[in-house]
Structure formats: structure tokens, C-alpha cells
Copies of this chain bind each other. A is one copy, B any other.
Amino acid sequence: MARVECGYAHPDEETVSLEAIFHALSDPYRLRIVRALAASAVPMNCGDLSFGRPKSSMSHHFRILRASGVLHTASQGVEHMNSLRREMLDRRFPGLMAAVLGEIGHSATTEASARPLTPA
């Protein structure tokens, strides 16, 4: 059962699947969103995470990240604030986000994120 909060549906912990998370992380822009949120001490609004891409394209990426369980969106007035569901992800798939974010050993992921991105 998904929880609907301020118009946004977020999957419950027990329904979050590894396959859906991998699909969410298989796109370079979605991976950039995840890395930016991981590096931020506070939730970020969608505008701060647009990377110069059209709003419709980024809305699609946010929807997929949210549906997979990776990201949480909350409405604050007219803003939509995003944060990683890091605690839940660490509980459900230990070590996964640490590996994704290059927190373990050397960070080959930094090289990957420095690559030129092709349009989504």
C-alpha cells in the first residue's frame, strides 16, 4: 500500500524492490539528482535539481525516483522539497546507497558522474 502525502505517493518500505531502484538509478540525470541530494544537508526543491533540463523531463525523472522508493517529496507551500529515503534504503538494502554514492573505498562513481551527459 502506498502512502499519499500532499498529493505525492510514496511506496511503503516492504514493497520497495531492488529492481525498481536499479531502474530508477539507470539514468544519468536521476543518478545526478540522487548524488546532489546525498551531498545536501537539507531537502532540495525541484528547481535546484533541474540541471538546465526541461521541467517536463525532470518531472518524469522525479516521478520514477519517487515510485521506486529512492526519493521523498513533500509540498511546502508552493515548493516541492525532495530528500533521499536514505534510512529506509540502508535498512532494506544494506550498503547499496553507500556503494552507489561511492562512499566505500575509492570512488569510481565520481568519474562516471564527470562524464558528459547525453540528453534524456
Residues of A with Cβ closer than 8 Å to B? 17-20, 22-23, 25-28, 31, 92-96, 98-100, 102, 104-106, 108-109, 112, 115
Contacts and interface: CB of A to CB of B under 8 A. Distances in A.
Nearest to A23: B26
Nearest to A92: B108
| Secondary structure of the A contact surface, majority rule | helix
Contact of A22 (B25, B93, B105, B115): B25
A100 B80 CA distance: 31
List the 6 closest pairs (A to B, CB-CB), nearest first: A94-B105, A95-B104, A95-B99, A23-B26, A96-B99, A22-B26
A54 to B, nearest CB: 20
Given A18-B31, A19-B31, A22-B25, A99 B105 contact: no
